[in-house]
Amino acid sequence: MEQYPLDQGTHKVEILQRESVRLTGVIHVESFDERQVVVETEMGMLALMGEEFHITGLDLEKGQMILEGMLLSLEYSSLDRGGSRHRDGNFLQRIFR
């Protein structure tokens, strides 16, 4: 897996040709299948929707993940005004419909 020159605690999303997504600041993989990946990041919950997803790299100690497949959309849950993560049950309910 490629090394990222970022300090821990940072979050970055890099999309290459909508076929590869590189993430930093990943804390936990909440769920995964070939059409949807939900991860907890330093900036809140992130849902990625697409087709034929495969996780080709995952290092939770470094907070890094590489996802391949056709990306159709991504959506973050909201953060409160202080920048803290706001766990919204509605967010997860909406993405699992």
The pLDDT tens digits for 20-51 are: 999 999 999 999 999 999 999 999 999 999 99
Q: Is residue 71 in a domain?
A: yes
What is the rounded distance in angstroms from the CA atom of residue 86 to the CA atom of residue 80? 6
Q: Is residue 58 in a domain?
A: yes
Q: Is residue 6 in a domain?
A: no
Residues of the domain holding 37 = 12-77+87-95
Q: Is residue 46 in a domain?
A: yes
CB of 36 closer than 8 Å to CB of 49:
yes
What is the rounded distance in angstroms from the CA atom of residue 2 to the CA atom of residue 57? 9
* CATH number of the domain within which 24 lies: 2.60.40.2000
Average pLDDT over residues 50-59: 97
Q: Is residue 2 in a domain?
A: no
Which pTM was predicted? 0.73
Domain count within the chain = 1
CB of 69 closer than 8 Å to CB of 51:
yes
